[in-house]
Amino acid sequence: MKSKRITLLLMSILLIVILAGCSKGNSTVKKEEFDSSVYENNDYLITANELKNLLGSEELVLLDCNKPDIYQKQHIPGAISIGLHAFSDKTGKPGDEGWGTLIKKEDLKSRLESLGIDNNKTVVFYSDVFKGPGADGRAVWQLKQAGLDNVKLLVGGLSYWKEVGYDTTNEVSNPIPNSDVVLKDYDESYGATKEYIYENLGKQVVIDVRTEAEYKGSQKVGEPRGGHIKGAKHMLWTDILNEDGTPKSPDEIKTIMADMGVTPEDDFSVY
């Protein structure tokens, strides 16, 4: 299967990358027994039940990627708040050259160590997939690029965690810094630059996963420029999720992607 490229405006549509090449059939799950094994690339995923069993372990670093106000109201016990742009370059303002792109390897190393992350601990990212989506998927994607194999995305995020009745808290947790994490240079095959997208216009499918209003030009959420990439198809990122925030079955996702003109063998880009 060819690599699935993602622009640097990545949202939780990372799940498409994880799941679009699935081949094991439909999944029928009970609330606390979500079966991630039906997804071909399930090493990225951790279920609510699996995470619950890890809570309190010194081998777990749990990171909340919601906006701070959401974190303050409720979060998973032991979670550390890192917000939306913890590993992004925020020099200047949105729309400026380089804003929102990946921070340099040495800066990423420092930030990870400040959060207590090393190459052995299990690192779990989550957000409320319906209120503050995007940063958890992007974080997993970015750290995978940097060579970390111990990072996970919580299936269904905070939404599903609450759906199954697991506890939340408003008690703040602080990181215990760590002195050593080993990173590789970013693997560029995981992403797509604007130059790559431009060079491949008309040659591969590009999918815009923002709201329909944003796709049609709305700038209400802060876009410096309205509209969408020429030729991009629109698919709302939540289209691949169930109402409880969990991903749809492999067959359902493949059907949705087929409607976009994408098969598991195709190279495509999302933003």
48 phi, psi to nearest 5 deg: -60, -40
Contact between 101 and 88 under an 8 Å Cβ cutoff? The reply is: yes
Q: What is the mean pLDDT of residues 3-10?
A: 45
Angle CA 235–17–77, to nearest 5: 95
Domain architecture of the chain: domains with CATH? 11-187 (3.40.250.10), 189-270 (3.40.250.10)
Closest CA to 77 of 59, 46, 54: 54
DSSP-derived letter for residue 241 is B
**What distance in Å separates the CA atoms of residue 51 and residue 134, rounded to the nearest whole number?**
20
Torsions phi, psi of 236, nearest 5?
Answer: -60, 135
Give the whole-angstrom CA distance, residue 145 versus residue 128: 24
Q: What is the 3-state secondary structure (H, E, C) of 66-80?
A: CCHHHHHHCECCCCE
| Eight-class DSSP state of 111 | H
Residue 123's SS3 state is strand
Question: What average pLDDT does the structure give for the chain?
Answer: 87
pLDDT at 20 over 60: no
**For 108-161, what is each residue's pLDDT tens digit?**
999 999 999 999 999 999 999 887 566 899 999 999 999 999 999 999 999 999
pTM of structure: 0.86
Residue pLDDT, tens place only, 187-241: 988 889 889 999 999 999 999 999 999 999 999 887 888 999 999 999 999 999 9
pLDDT on residue 222:
77
pLDDT of residue 33: 67
Instruction: Transcribe 23-62 into DSSP letters.
Output: -S------TT---GGGSTTGGGEE-HHHHHHHTT-TTEEE
Here the tokens at position 117 are: 């992350």
pLDDT confidence of residue 132: 59
